[in-house]
A and B are shown apart, each in its own frame.
Chain A
Amino acid sequence: MSGETDPRTPEEAASAAAERARARVSAGGYADAGRLDALGAQERAGLSRLQEWAPIEIEPEIARSTRRLGAPITRFKRFLLRMLLQYHNEEQAQITRFNVHLLGYVAQLEGRVAELEDRLARGERAPRE
């Protein structure tokens, strides 16, 4: 900080930070700031990922014992699953129905937003619905 007066109060420090940042950027410093600003702008799981997740299908093989010599427990768990198959099918169907309907709604909205953004970029008015 040679040639600069050190701020003594928080108010002076806030102004000094902004001034020094401007000066350093003008002198070619912080060259990476723009790249960093843009990093990670979009992280949300996209529609294609949601489409993969939407139908709920759980393989019965996921039910297993993690204990040593747990094979009989694994067999028992899978037996119980077979006995409850009707219930679990209904449960999976209900969750899947909700997921895919929601997904369809989101996809529709996404298309609509894209269309409106496109119209906006071309300077057109959006149609009223």
Chain B
Amino acid sequence: MTRVLQLLSGAGPYDAITNQALAWQRMLAEDGIGGEVLAAHMDPAVDGAVRRLEGLDDGAGGADLLVVHYSAHAPALDRALALPVRKLLVYHNITPPQYLWEHEPYVAMICALGRERLAGYAARVDAAVAPSAFSAGDLEAAGFADVRVDRRLYLFDRERLRPGAADAERGEGPTILFVGRLSHNKRQDRLVKAFALYQREHAPGARLVLPGSPGSGTYGPYLARLAAEAGARDVELPGGLPQERLNARYAGADAFVCLSEHEGFCIPLLESMHFGLPVIARRAAAVPEVLGDAGVLLDDPDLPTVAEAIDIAVRCAPLREELRARGERRLGDFTPRETHEAVRETVEALL
């Protein structure tokens, strides 16, 4: 049986890349391709689904192909890339460290090393693929040739978004939502400020909900302080939520606002479309590639423009209807069948 080993720099139970690797493993198994997922660092809660990368022998565990999911520096990945077996690098993007030094210096260092080492990997892999042209740009700048871009690489499973959606949590006023790790590149700080203006000038009963893992840094407490200093009320930072509770938050929201400056893909944009939410987003990084024409894209917006865009998206019924229809059309490009096909094509080209 053909064997494909997938290697991760880190694995966690709610980590998007871990879940994508496990989804790839299931899809490949349906095509008769065996394999495992291994990680350099591991949260004990992953429990059996992922194995430690240190155990990988010099024969690469008898694998026919190593798929390296690259999202951060890990010395164990360096060693695996030297093994005599065909290798595919899947680049999930690495946050530029300048966003992270202030609040997460350790993560900034890992990201800086990860970006620096990228150039050394160009000659050590047989192929490279990225889920967005934005991410492919990083690889090309690092010296990779013939980088393939395939926007279907991430499994977007709408079934996962159904449990809990009936328990929508609604407030008295409009609920504005952004979902993502609390990290400076995602600019939740700009959103808190724009929300403060929106609340003051348009909707005193509005609330802002920012689910997302706070990580190990100080950005979460900083956001809480910022909300108080900005005079914004009802700003919720509930941390990372289990899927059902997150679904309830999506279902109870009135608009999704993404002011991220750096995103390698941004699956929450697709999740918002699933829930029929109007999406307002800054035109930056891979966001326009994922959103297509199904959201309100703002070019380098100032705070008043974001506040007005929120007001429009919350109140204009014809616009909401148009965005809902465009979102449904857009989601047609991200079906599990499309992803399965993309994974099969990507892997089989190297076997």
* Whole-angstrom CA separation of A24 from B201 in the bound complex: 10
In this assembly, does A40 line the interface, its C-beta being within 8 Å of a C-beta of chain B? yes
Q: B residues within 8 A CB of A18?
A: 298, 301, 305, 308
Contact partner of B293 among A1, A10, A16, A21, CB < 8 A? A10
* Whole-angstrom CA separation of A32 from B306 in the bound complex: 14
Which of B64-72, B119-127, B312-320, B337-345 is the interface stretch?
B312-320
Q: Are A33 and B303 in contact (CB under 8 A)?
A: yes
Which of B9-17, B86-94, B189-197, B265-273 is the interface stretch?
B189-197
Q: Are B322 and A9 in contact (CB under 8 A)?
A: yes
* Whole-angstrom CA separation of A8 from B326 in the bound complex: 12
* Whole-angstrom CA separation of A21 from B280 in the bound complex: 15
Q: Are A6 and B196 in contact (CB under 8 A)?
A: no
Nearest CB of B to A45, in Å: 9
Q: Are B222 and A32 in contact (CB under 8 A)?
A: no
Interface majority SS on B: helix, strand, loop or mixed? helix
Q: Are B319 and A36 in contact (CB under 8 A)?
A: no
Instruction: Answer whether A20 and B308 are a contact pair too, CB < 8 Å, given A10-B296, A30-B201, A33-B302.
Output: yes
Q: B residues within 8 A CB of A8?
A: 316, 318-319, 322
* Whole-angstrom CA separation of A20 from B305 in the bound complex: 8
Q: B residues within 8 A CB of A43?
A: 102-103, 218, 222
Q: Are B313 and A21 in contact (CB under 8 A)?
A: no
Contact partner of B298 among A6, A17, A20, A36, CB < 8 A? A17
Q: A residues within 8 A CB of B177?
A: none
* Whole-angstrom CA separation of A14 from B229 in the bound complex: 28
Contact partner of B309 among A17, A25, A29, CB < 8 A? A17
In this assembly, does A61 line the interface, its C-beta being within 8 Å of a C-beta of chain B? no
In this assembly, does A7 line the interface, its C-beta being within 8 Å of a C-beta of chain B? yes
Instruction: Answer whether A39 and B193 are a contact pair too, CB < 8 Å, given A6-B318, A17-B296.
Output: yes
* Whole-angstrom CA separation of A13 from B301 in the bound complex: 13
Which residue of chain A has the shortest Cβ distance to B303 in the bound complex? A33
* Whole-angstrom CA separation of A40 from B196 in the bound complex: 14
Contact partner of B189 among A6, A24, A40, A44, CB < 8 A? A40
**How many residues from B make CB contacts under 8 Å with A?**
42
Q: A residues within 8 A CB of B99?
A: none
Q: A residues within 8 A CB of B101?
A: 44
Instruction: Answer whether A10 and B295 are a contact pair too, CB < 8 Å, given A30-B303, A40-B189.
Output: yes
Instruction: Answer whether A32 and B316 are a contact pair too, CB < 8 Å, given A14-B296, A24-B304, A40-B222.
Output: no
In this assembly, does B29 line the interface, its C-beta being within 8 Å of a C-beta of chain A? no
Q: Which of A73-110 contact B (CB under 8 A)?
A: none
Q: Annotate B136-158 by CB proximity to A: 1 below 8 A, 0 otherwise.
A: 00000000000000000000000
Which of A10, A12, A20, A33 has most B Cβ within 10 Å? A10
Which residue of chain B has the shortest Cβ distance to A4 in the bound complex? B312
Nearest CB of A to B101, in Å: 7
Nearest CB of A to B271, in Å: 18
Q: Are A36 and B312 in contact (CB under 8 A)?
A: no
Instruction: Answer whether A21 and B302 are a contact pair too, CB < 8 Å, given A13-B312, A40-B229.
Output: yes
Q: Annotate B28-72 by CB proximity to A: 1 below 8 A, 0 otherwise.
A: 000000000000000000000000000000000000000000000
Q: Are B197 and A17 in contact (CB under 8 A)?
A: no
Which residue of chain A has the shortest Cβ distance to B219 in the bound complex? A43
* Whole-angstrom CA separation of A8 from B225 in the bound complex: 37
* Whole-angstrom CA separation of A36 from B227 in the bound complex: 10
Q: Are A21 and B189 in contact (CB under 8 A)?
A: no
In this assembly, does A124 line the interface, its C-beta being within 8 Å of a C-beta of chain B? no
Q: Are A13 and B313 in contact (CB under 8 A)?
A: yes
Contacts beyond the supplied A13-B296, A17-B298: 11 A-B pairs with Cβ under 8 Å = A8-B316, A10-B294, A10-B295, A10-B326, A14-B297, A20-B311, A24-B201, A24-B304, A29-B304, A37-B302, A40-B222
